[in-house]
Amino acid sequence: MTRVLVSHQHRLMRAGMGLILEDALMDVVGEAPGGEEVVKLTRVLRPDVVLVDVRSPAADGIAVIRRIRSGHSMTAVLVVAEQGGMALLRAAFEAGATGYVVNDSSPAELILAVETLAAGGSYVHPSAGAAMAEQLAAGSTPGVLVSGPGGQLTKREVEVLGELAAGLTNAETGQKLFLSVRTVENHRAHIFQKLGVSSRAELVRRAIEADLIR
């Protein structure tokens, strides 16, 4: 059973998220408003996933994430925040978070995000992918450089990257860029290989960490 620690500055939010996760047969081991209390409870309870409200006035949410991850590398951190704030999101991922949902996410999305993190994956709310895609598109020029462990992406691969990060399927990406599905699949495979990622969520995270958001 997945063990979850719920943190949010608002008591009703904590209670609501806790009930949602308990209904999904998860073990909500504790809750806290934020700050040092979250760090201490993580140390004592050792949950699989911690939900962190990065805008909590109790403490610097980014510092809390960094402390949780430095002392408990096996505990995944799911950021809970308002819509937008790409700079804050990037800082959270750089501090060690592996997931992001917004305050008005559906119960199903919250459950999916926690399950994904508990299984060792990453989850990013679609709005973050869409925002990244828009900023990439605004800054994409023939001379743009996007690279990873496997090499530098071509301009077309950067365009495909933006659409995939926005949540489009291979077929939808092909229609938008006037490419066949097979061509998109080939570009996708090359992008994943070059950036060293294995899922769409990791692709978004890798792009954020690589400072592709302008």
Q: What is the pLDDT of residues 14-40, one digit of tens each?
A: 999 999 999 999 999 999 998 889 999
Fold type of domain 128-209: Arc Repressor Mutant, subunit A (1.10.10)
| 121/112: higher pLDDT | 112
Query: What are the structure tokens assigned to 5, written together?
Result: 């620690």
Who has greater pLDDT, 34 or 60?
Answer: 34
Overall fold of domain 3-124: Rossmann fold (3.40.50)
Amino acid at 166: A
The predicted model scores a pTM of 0.64
Cα-based distances in Å from 34 to 5, 13, 61, 144 = 11, 12, 8, 40
Q: How many helices (H) and strands (E) does the chain have?
A: 10, 8
Same fold, 3-124 and 128-209: no
- Whole-angstrom CA distances from 171 to 25, 128, 177 are 35, 21, 10
**Structural domain spans, the chain:** 3-124, 128-209
Please give the structure tokens belonging to residue 117.
Answer: 């993190």
Given a contact cutoff of 8 angstroms between Cβ atoms, the answer to whether 173 and 203 are in contact is no
Over the stretch 169-212, which tens digit does the pLDDT of each residue have? 888 888 887 788 888 898 889 888 888 888 777 777 766 665 55
What per-residue confidence (pLDDT) applies to 144?
A: 44
Q: How far apart are CA 16 and CA 12, in angstroms?
A: 6
